[in-house]
């Protein structure tokens, strides 16, 4: 199940599908290795940005923001602050950064892995904002500020579509609590790739 959830998250970030595509929009995962909207994303002083470098989404999980490039690079032994393109051009680094993000708690966020295997338990504050154990909280960790608490939108439908497609292919249940668009996002508690 943990691999399925990882595929679901990564698929949304790299999709190239469209409504009338052969086999539907969710058959077209892993098409792009870089974010279409290239921005600098130099948002933290904890990992100073290199001159002229941008920290937009790259790789399997579309790693974004200088602080994620800095922390991931330190963890895997690669200078991603000065060489952010390695996440898109080196398949090993791309996989390592995706695994790093899945396995590593950041700030007040649990790791996605801890949520998947049941090591994370929602606090009273989490429960009061509808963040409960299940698929939806993974998205809250990865991209909560952009996708949670805003009602249904295309990003939400896209993530759910990939998740349901993979469950259907594998013949397994969708499980509970995968609707995350009603979560009340609290930035200090949940993050963004």
| Residue among 135, 175, 134, 169 at smallest CA distance from 26 | 169
Residues 59/33, Cβ–Cβ less than 8 Å = yes
Positions marked active-site: 13
Question: Environment class of residue 116 by beta-carbon count within 10 Å: exposed (0-12), middle (13-18) or buried (19+)?
Answer: buried
């Amino acid at each position: 199940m943990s691999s399925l959830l990882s595929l679901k998250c990564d698929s949304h970030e790299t999709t190239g599908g469209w409504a009338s595509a052969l086999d539907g929009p969710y058959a077209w995962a892993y098409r792009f290795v870089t974010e279409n909207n290239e921005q600098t994303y130099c948002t933290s002083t904890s990992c100073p940005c290199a001159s002229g470098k941008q920290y937009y989404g790259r790789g399997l999980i579309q790693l974004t923001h200088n602080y994620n490039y800095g922390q991931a690079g330190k963890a895997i032994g690669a200078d991603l602050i000065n060489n952010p393109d390695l996440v898109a051009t080196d398949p090993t680094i791309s996989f390592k950064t995706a695994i790093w993000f899945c396995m590593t708690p950041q700030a007040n966020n649990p790791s996605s892995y801890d949520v998947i295997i049941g090591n994370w338990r929602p606090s009273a504050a989490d429960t009061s904002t509808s963040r409960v154990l299940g698929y939806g909280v993974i998205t809250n960790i990865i991209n909560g500020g952009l996708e949670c608490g805003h009602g249904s939108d295309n990003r939400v439908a896209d993530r759910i579509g990939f998740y349901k497609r993979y469950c259907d292919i594998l013949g397994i249940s969708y499980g509970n609590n995968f609707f995350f668009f009603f979560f009340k996002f609290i930035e200090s508690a949940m993050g963004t790739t």
